[in-house]
Structure 1
């Protein structure tokens, strides 16, 4: 972490409002963008505000082994998931006995498909699959982290990811085939 950032965090821990405003200004746009991946713009604004308040209140628990941005991102994502859970999104254990594990790292898409089309297709997935795909593919969390964030077994995370990936591939194949004819 940069010396300036370390100094800012120390000042924030002491309740320095100018330092808190500087930290907010530095991270707010990135955190808002992350929140918008999961929620409407209006809810994302609320979540971001609540997330920063929670972060400043719990700064003592921040450990510099992770970057401050990564720590804050985790708080924002947890706030988003709290909102989704309040809206009755429940992650239950999924029966996994008949599923084969596929290569999760193989996210190859046809070169003719744009990143925007992939992101649009992700939005078409059912809510549970969409969240796991976003946490894995966009945020870069592994199954252990997703399991902790969503409070689900690792197997359930893998299952939601696999089903989301298959559906995403179907959506993109359909889109690509429509575009060719």
Structure 2
């Protein structure tokens, strides 16, 4: 397997917060690394994608990575990887094994065998601190006319919904535009 240093693959920015995702040069290095990790899986006669795109997706929130089966792409979270560069390679391998195992395999036995064939531990979840990540604020509060149950929402459009408890109509009680 081609040995690439973590600094070559992914170097954190000098500023505290990054406004742009990493350069395309680092994604090219990650794609070479992805090809190197898929090679042993092909030798074991597992069907693997020939070429995998690796991109940084700044819209990911608490997950380190995601496998996109339709576009044969691994999406990585630049915000979490900025603070935890040691998680880059394990996350890449994790998502590559998802692509190789297929959309129905999940974290099952086939995926676990592929992780072990790549020399990685088949861990499912990370335990990283995500408190620094931006959370969506629920700006709209809807309340049931009948029972008073409140429903915080990201968007205003709840006119066609009813209360889950009693079936009553919902009314806006907090409107960000009106400053209420």
Q: Normalized against structure 1, the TM-score is what? A: 0.37
Larger radius of gyration between Structure 1 and Structure 2:
2
The structure in which a higher percent of residues are helix is 1
Q: Normalized against structure 2, the TM-score is what? A: 0.37
* Bigger RCO of structures 1 and 2 (CA < 8 A, at least 6 apart): 1
